[in-house]
C-alpha cells in the first residue's frame, strides 16, 4: 500500500482529514483479508466431509467401491458422527458379502462403540459370530438387539433358532457316550463292549434313533413291521457274531445305519 504523506505545512485540514479516513479504510481491508485467510486455514473449520459417494456406492451394492469410498469417509476427521456410523455399517456389509467376517465384525464393534443403541448392528454382528461358530457371543448380540427393539423380526428369528440349537446341543451332550440301553443292565459281552466305548455307544444310540424314526414314518403298518423285523435280526446276528474272528462291530453298526438312513443319510 502506497504511503500517503501529509505535509503539515502545505495540506489543508480538510485534506488531512480525508487522508486519515483513507488510511483507516485501507487498514480495515488489510485486517479483514488477514482474518479471512486465518479463518479458512484453521483446522476443523472446513465444510464437513461429503457422504454422497459412500451412499451411492452402498446403494449400488458395489463392494470394492463401498470399501474404498466409505473407508475414506470413516477416516476423515471432518465426517459427522451419523455419517461415520452409516459408512461403517455399509463397509461392514460389504466385508460380509466378500466373506471378510473378521473385518466386518471389527466395523460393527466400532459402530456399537459410537452408538450402542443400534439393534440392527447387534443383530448383524450376532449373525457373523454365529457363522464363526461362536454361539455364546451370537446369542448375546441377538438378545441385545431384542432388548433394544422387541419387534426386530430378524433378531427374533435368530434368537429363537439359536436357542433351539443350543438346547439340542445340550441334550446331545447330556447323552454323549451313552447307548440306547441301560448299561447297568448289560449282560451280553457285546453290550458291555458298547458301554465301554463312547464311540460305539454313540453309534448304537444313533442306530436306535434312526430305526425308531423310520418305523414311525413308515407309509403302512406292514412296512413298519418289516423294519422292526430287520432290526431284530440285526441285533440277533450282532449278539451271535460278536467276538468271532473277522467280525467288526463298529463296521457292522455303521453299515446298519446306512441301511436305515439310505446312502444320502435320510
Task: Record the cell numbers describing residue 92, joined without a space.
Answer: 461392514
Residue in 11, 167, 85 with CA at minimum distance from that of residue 70: 85
Indicate whether 66 belongs to any domain.
yes
The answer to whether position 3 is within a domain reads no
One pLDDT digit (tens) per residue for the chain, 266 residues:
444 444 444 444 443 443 443 344 344 433 434 443 444 444 444 557 899 899 998 899 888 999 999 999 999 999 999 999 999 999 999 999 999 999 999 999 999 999 999 999 999 999 999 999 999 999 999 999 999 999 999 999 999 999 888 887 776 677 778 898 999 999 999 999 999 999 999 999 999 989 999 999 999 999 999 999 999 999 999 999 999 999 999 999 999 999 998 854 44
Does 213 share its domain with 153? Answer: no
Q: Which of 164, 171, 188 is nearest to 238 (CA)?
A: 188
Residues 83 and 158 in one domain: yes
Express each pLDDT in 11-33 by its tens digit: 444 434 434 433 443 444 334 34
Residues 164 and 200 both lie in one domain: no
How much is the pTM?
Answer: 0.53
187 assigned to some structural domain = yes
Residue 266: inside a domain, yes or no? no
27 domain-assigned = no
Q: Output the nine-digit C-alpha cell for 18.
A: 480525508
Q: Do 64 and 167 share a domain, yes or no?
A: yes
Domain of 85?
52-173
Same-domain status, 99 and 121: yes
Last residue of a domain, one of 139, 173, 207: 173
Do 83 and 49 contact (CB within 8 A), yes or no?
yes
Q: How many domains does the chain have?
A: 2
Task: State the CB neighbour count (10 A cutoff) for residue 263.
Answer: 7
Can you tell me the distance from the alpha carbon of 63 to that of 57, in angstroms, rounded to the nearest whole number? 8
Cβ–Cβ < 8 Å for 138, 162: yes
Of 144, 173, 202, the domain-final residue: 173
Domain boundary, last residue among 173, 194, 219: 173
Residues 140/158, Cβ–Cβ less than 8 Å: no
d(CA 255, CA 230): 13
Amino acid at each position: 500500500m502506497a504511503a500517503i504523506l501529509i505535509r503539515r505545512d502545505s495540506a489543508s485540514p480538510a485534506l488531512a482529514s480525508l487522508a486519515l479516513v483513507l488510511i483507516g479504510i485501507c487498514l480495515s481491508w488489510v485486517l479483514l483479508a488477514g482474518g479471512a485467510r486465518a479463518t479458512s486455514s484453521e483446522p476443523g473449520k472446513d465444510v464437513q466431509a461429503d457422504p454422497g459417494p459412500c451412499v451411492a456406492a452402498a446403494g449400488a451394492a458395489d463392494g470394492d467401491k463401498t470399501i474404498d469410498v466409505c473407508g475414506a469417509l470413516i477416516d476423515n476427521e471432518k465426517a459427522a458422527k451419523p455419517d461415520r456410523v452409516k459408512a461403517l455399517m455399509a463397509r461392514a456389509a460389504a466385508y460380509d458379502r466378500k466373506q471378510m467376517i473378521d473385518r466386518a465384525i471389527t466395523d460393527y464393534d466400532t459402530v456399537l462403540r459410537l452408538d450402542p443403541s443400534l439393534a440392527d448392528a447387534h443383530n448383524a454382528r450376532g449373525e457373523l459370530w454365529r457363522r464363526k461358530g461362536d454361539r455364546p457371543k451370537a446369542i448375546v448380540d441377538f438378545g441385545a438387539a431384542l432388548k433394544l427393539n422387541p419387534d426386530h423380526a430378524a433378531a427374533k428369528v435368530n434368537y429363537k433358532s439359536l436357542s433351539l440349537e443350543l438346547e439340542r446341543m445340550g441334550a446331545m451332550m447330556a447323552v454323549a457316550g451313552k447307548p440306547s440301553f441301560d448299561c447297568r443292565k448289560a449282560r451280553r459281552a457285546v453290550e458291555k463292549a458298547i458301554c465301554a466305548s463312547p464311540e460305539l455307544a454313540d453309534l448304537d444310540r444313533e442306530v436306535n434313533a434312526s430305526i425308531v424314526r423310520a418305523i414311525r414314518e413308515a407309509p403302512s403298518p406292514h412296512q413298519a413291521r418289516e423294519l422292526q423285523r430287520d432290526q431284530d435280526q440285526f441285533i440277533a446276528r450282532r449278539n451271535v457274531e460278536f467276538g468271532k474272528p473277522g467280525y467288526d462291530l463298529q463296521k457292522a453298526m455303521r453299515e446298519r445305519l446306512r441301511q436305515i438312513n439310505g446312502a444320502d443319510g435320510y
